[in-house]
Amino acid sequence: MPFIMILYYVITVYLAFLLVWNFVHEKKKIEDLAQYLLVLIPLVLRILRIK
């Protein structure tokens, strides 16, 4: 795997972490909770090298 690709996976993991962090700390808006998880799906699929 080329270095640039590894770097992009690191970025993806970081973005996924931010979404999970926001999901855990969100206390008010249910819409935001749903959106965090929705955005998280493609990132998790990429990290798991499925899509």
Partner 1 sequence: MKRPGIIKAVLIFIFLIFLVDGGLRLYRHRHFDVPVVAGPGVTRVARLSDFGPGLKGTMADTPVYFLEGTEPGGKAVLMSNTHANEPEGFLAALLMLENAVVEKGTLIIIPEFNNSASRNTRPGDGYPLYFEIPTDWGRKKFRMGNRDASPLDQWPDPDVYIHYPDRQLLSYIDVRNVNRTWPGRPNGPLMEKVTFAAMEIMRREKVDVAIDIHGAETMFPVTNCIVAPEKSNRIATMASLTVKAKEGFDSHVEPSPIGFRGLSHREIGDFSDTLPFLLEAPIPFLDQPTGPKTVKFLLDGKDPFLLNLAQKKKLFVSYDESGWPLEKRVGQHCSVTLEILSQYSKKKPERSILVRNVPRYAEIVQKGVGYYFHDPSEAEKDRVYPN
Binding residue count for partner 1, defined by CB under 8 A:
21
**Following CA atoms 30, 34, 15, 42 in sequence, which dihedral angle do they give, to the nearest 10 degrees?**
180
Instruction: Work out whether 49 is an interface residue with partner 1 (CB under 8 A).
Output: yes
Instruction: Work out whether 10 is an interface residue with partner 1 (CB under 8 A).
Output: no
Instruction: Work out whether 39 is an interface residue with partner 1 (CB under 8 A).
Output: no
Instruction: Work out whether 17 is an interface residue with partner 1 (CB under 8 A).
Output: no
| Distance in angstroms (rounded) separating the CA atoms of residues 3 and 22 | 29
Print the SS3 string covering 3-14: HHHHHHHHHHHH
Near partner 1 by CB under 8 A: residue from 13, 15, 16, 44: 44
